[in-house]
Amino acid sequence: MSLVTTPPPLQPDYGALIRFLIEPLLDSPSSLKVDCEVLGQGTRVFIRLAFADADKSVALGRGGRNVRAIQVLLKSVGQMAQQTVTLDIFGEQSADYSRPPRSASFSRPGPSRPGPSRPSVESGVPRARPRRLSDG
């Protein structure tokens, strides 16, 4: 008779993971404050971050790319532990970094204004022809 045991559920150390990911980006790593709160019988995790204002732009990344990458990683780790993870950054208006801002467009729009006008042949200004250099 063999007994099959289920391993205990995985409980990730979100605080250590956040510190590992964000501290190298900060000028003053000691300013990083991490608060992890587990709710709903261990199924929901709220992570709150705070750091110096001087480090905010570096930690968030261009258009929030660093934060979105960290959210994806936390979501993956949370799924392995059967938890829903929410990341909140102290002092930010919105904790939604799921979409890039409107200015970060991957398609190049056309020119917003017409280019400089060039004189036409009829305007009476002759066009200069490029000279050919001779070999000899």
Q: What is the DSSP string of 111-123?
A: PSS-------GGG
Q: Which two tokens stand for residue 30?
A: 């000691």
For residue 112, the model assigns a pLDDT of 61
For residue 18, the model assigns a pLDDT of 93
For residue 135, the model assigns a pLDDT of 66
Q: What is the DSSP string of 10-27?
A: P---HHHHHHHHHGGG-S
Radius of gyration of the chain (CA): 28
Sites in the chain below the pLDDT cut of 50: 95-106
The reported pTM is 0.59
What residue type is assigned to position 87 of the chain?
A: L
What residue type is assigned to position 90 of the chain?
A: F
Provide the CA 92 distance to its chain's centre, in angstroms: 14
Q: Which residues contact 85 (CB under 8 A, 6 or more apart)?
A: 14, 45, 47, 74, 75, 77, 78
For residue 77, the model assigns a pLDDT of 93
CATH for the 14-89 domain, from 3.90.600.10, 3.40.640.10, 3.30.300.20, 1.20.272.10: 3.30.300.20
For residue 100, the model assigns a pLDDT of 46
Q: What is the tens place of the pLDDT at every residue in 81-106? A: 999 999 998 876 554 444 444 444 44
- Taking the domains of the chain in order of start, what are their residue ranges? 14-89
Taking the C-alpha atoms of residue 84 and residue 39, their distance in angstroms, rounded to an integer, is 10
Q: Which residues contact 75 (CB under 8 A, 6 or more apart)?
A: 85
For residue 34, the model assigns a pLDDT of 93
